[in-house]
Amino acid sequence: MTCIVGLTDGKTVWMGGDSCGTNGYTKDVTKHPKVIVRETHGNRLIVGYTGSFRMGQVLEHKLDIPRNENDDDAYKFMVCTVIDALRTLFKAEGCITTTDGQDSTDGPFLVGYRGRLFEVQSDYSVIENTRGYVATGSGKQVAEGAMFAAPNLKPEPRIMRALEAAAEFVPTVAGPFYVMTLCPSI
C-alpha cells in the first residue's frame, strides 16, 4: 500500500516516498508526505511510513525520543530506546494491534539515524541490511530492483527512479514523490 525507499552512504540518509492512499479497491493521493524529518531532544531522525496514515501522523507530530544520554551506537539506540518509546506512544495513540498477546504496528517503516538506515518491521524488529538501501511497502521488490540496477545514479535521482518503477508496476503506488535528506550534524 505504498513505497518508501531509503539510501545511506554512512553519513547522509536520503528517503523518498509516494503519495498513494488505498484500501485495495480505490485510491487517493494525499497532500502530506509520508517521509518526515523529526528532531526530539537532540536526536534527528528521518522516518518514512507505510500502512496507517494515523500512525504516520503520530510519528510526525507526537514522536518524542529520549536523548541518547550514553551516546549508544545507532543500532543499540534504535533497539533499546527508540523502539521502547515507539511502543509506548503507539499504544497510547491506538496504533497497535494485539493478536494472541503479540503487539504489532499498523505497518512497517524506515528510520534513518546518525547516517544509518533501519527497517522497523510490524513486530518491532529492527533490521539494518548490508546494501545501504532498503524499501518497504507494496512497492518494495520493484523499488529494490530499481535501486540495484542503478548503482551509479546520484542518491535523489536513484530514489526517484525506484519510486517511478514501483508506480509503473504496482497499482498501490502513485506520485507525486517526495525525497528528503538527513545530513550529518555539524
Please name the helix (run of DSSP H) or strand (run of DSSP E) that holds residue 23, with its range, or none: none
Helix axes 155-169, 140-149, angle to 10 degrees: 140
Average pLDDT over residues 9-27: 93
d(CA 125, CA 20): 25
Quote the pLDDT of residue 54.
93
Residues 145-152: what's their mean pLDDT? Answer: 97
Please give the sequence-ordered ranges of beta strands (E in DSSP) within 56-108, or none if there are none.
96-99, 102-105
Cβ-count burial 76-92 (b if 16+ within 10 Å, e if not): ebbbebbbeebeebbee
Q: Dihedral angle at the C-alpha atoms of 89, 94, 100, 105, nearest 10 degrees?
A: -60
**Alpha helix ranges (H) inside 63-154:** 74-77, 83-93, 140-149
Cell triple for 112:
534513518
Cα–Cα nearest to 116, from 4, 43, 6, 13: 13
Nearest Cα residue to 48 out of 16, 23, 83:
16
Residue 106 binned pLDDT confidence (cut-offs 50, 70, 90): confident
List, in order of start, the domains of the chain with CATH numbers. Answer: 4-18+30-182 (3.60.20.10)
Q: Give me the half-sphere count of Cα atoms (radius 13 Å) on the Cβ side of residue 164.
A: 7
Amino acid sitting at position 186: I
- Percentage of residues in the chain with pLDDT exceeding 90? 78
pTM of the full structure: 0.94
Res. 186: pLDDT tops 70: no
User: Which neighbouring-strand residues pair with 179?
Assistant: 16
Model pLDDT, residue 107: 87
Which residue has 494485539 as its cell numbers? Answer: 98
Residues 42-91: tens digit of each pLDDT:
889 999 999 889 999 999 999 998 888 888 899 999 999 999 999 999 99
Q: Are 105 and 124 in contact (CB under 8 A)?
A: yes
Instruction: Report the mean per-residue pLDDT for the chain.
Output: 93
CA-based nearest residue to 137, from 101, 103, 174:
174
Q: What is the pLDDT of residue 33?
A: 94
